[in-house]
Amino acid sequence: MTKKVLAIDLGASSGRGIVAEFDGKTLTLEEIERFNNTPVALMGTTYWDVLRLFHHIKNCILKAKPYDVESLAIDTWGVDFALLDRDGVLQGNPVHYRDRRTNGMVDYALRTEIKRERLYEITGIEIMDINTLFQLEAMQLNHDSHIETSRELLFMPDLFNFLLSGEDRTEPSIASTSQLMDARTKQWSFEIIDDIQLEYPALPGIIPSGTVLGKLLPDIAHELGVKPIDIIIGCGHDTQCAVAAVPAETDDFLFVSCGTWSLLGTELDSPLINEKTLELNLSNETGFEGRTTLLKNIVGLWLIQESRRQWIREGQEFSFAELEELAKSAEPFKCFIEPSSDEFTSAGNIPERIREFCEFTGQPKPESIGESMRCIYESLAMKYREVKEEIEEVTGKKYDNLYMVGGGAKDETLAQAAANALGIKVTVGPVEATAYGNAAIQFIAKGDIEDLAQARKIIRASTELKVFEPRDTDKWDEAYKRFKEVTADA
């Protein structure tokens, strides 16, 4: 007898509802709804349109009605949150992590409230100004009235779970992105909370990933004409759903979850927190079954997405496939950027910022769209190599295969560039890794799949993988030296 669940995946640019069916041996996915997740800029602040997103979530549930799903789980991007007042009412729209309100907050907090070494020692998380901790710092420093009148903070997946079930809890994968959770105990760090003098709002209780949270509220079930299915709190962080779906056959593996962000790392049994991982700013995020994902956040396909938006504004509209072809015909290794440099993280004219970066670092500037695209692809691949070497240094392990999962895995130009730069094979797939992981965790929660190891075996059997072998490694090795030189001080 087959069983079905609904996986709702909300990315930073789009969302979708996917019905997953498990027949005891393989998982099959069917997309039933796809929608944009477009931020809204209003009076100098960038917000998430959460009411529209919740409308789409309800539409996913409605469209899943003919499939007779048993449960649903929601995953989203990390760090962002909503505030509820004392009556459980939403306190305005959640602010987007790319909003400029956190500019300078890292320096402020580390200078006045908590030492960098101690903050990292507790959380093991890459210190970035988008993290929840620094968003709260910005609100407190600016005397934001919402934080002073709020009762509770809920991360984005937890907000939607609360609206669906009435239960206000979180789980370790999304909580770990906040830089407020102790990496070892998987509970809130009251030392950090005291140091930043966070009086309001309360943080939700942390329960294990893969827990049945409750049932769909009766009024929503009645509105949609569906049965009160189980709401499962899976891995709320989309990255950890994707990691759960990495089709690795061994315990030691290297992956890149490729989308708006590229998250490159490996999976460990416990956090790796020391002076070297602090120096390299590696992140110990919590995954399913309490595992640690040692990774680095790299600005990823955002560079292409935002560049395309700029070219469209200039009257030059190309599909992503056309942009790939333009990149292939451009001169190789003409110039490089540091993808995660601050100037590339916010919205705006990315192609112009690329030219400015190249001029500042004494490189030839890209003169065409193809040259800009080639610069992005090759810079991302070189950055992957740099992070691979960092992870090998701190773990003492060598990796001969990179698993590329997520929507960006469809980009064969990037996959081949990664194989060339790293000098190892790149195994691509599944593209729908987040949905596979979301669904597999639901089936584990319901007792249909035993554990994560069995889930990965099932996912390997359910997907078609593609392998890219390295080419021209001598040329890429030489180019990597130049990449390191021009990005050394970025």
- Strands (E) in 166-220, as ranges, are 169-170, 205-206, 211-215
CA nearest to 231, candidates 70, 77, 83, 53? 70
d(CA 164, CA 179): 26
Strand partners, 299: 261
Bridge partners, residue 17, by sequence: 8, 33
Instruction: Quickly list DSSP for 167-179.
Output: --EE-HHHHGGGT
Q: Which H or E run contains 262?
A: strand 261-268
At 414, which amino acid appears?
L
Residues 6+ apart with CB under 8 A from 204: 152, 153, 154, 155, 158, 168, 169, 170
Q: Which of 114, 109, 94 is nearest to 141 (CA)?
A: 109
Q: What DSSP character marks residue 286?
A: E
- Strand pairing report for 169-170 and 205-206: parallel
Q: Report the b/e string of 32-61 with b at 16+ CB within 10 A.
A: bbebebebeeeeeebebbbeebeebbbebb
Which residue type sits at 49?
D
Length of the chain: 490
Query: Rounded CA gap, 420 and 436, in Å?
Result: 28
Structure tokens at 166: 């009435």
Give the tokens for residue 13: 């640019």
> In a 10 Å sphere around its CB, with 0-12 CB exposed, 13-18 middle and 19+ buried, how is residue 309 labelled?
middle
Bond preceding residue 470 cis, omega within 30 of 0: no
Is residue 238 annotated as part of the catalytic site, yes or no? yes
Question: Which of 144, 168, 182, 238 is the catalytic position?
Answer: 238
Place of tokens 């996912």: 459
Active site residues per annotation: 238
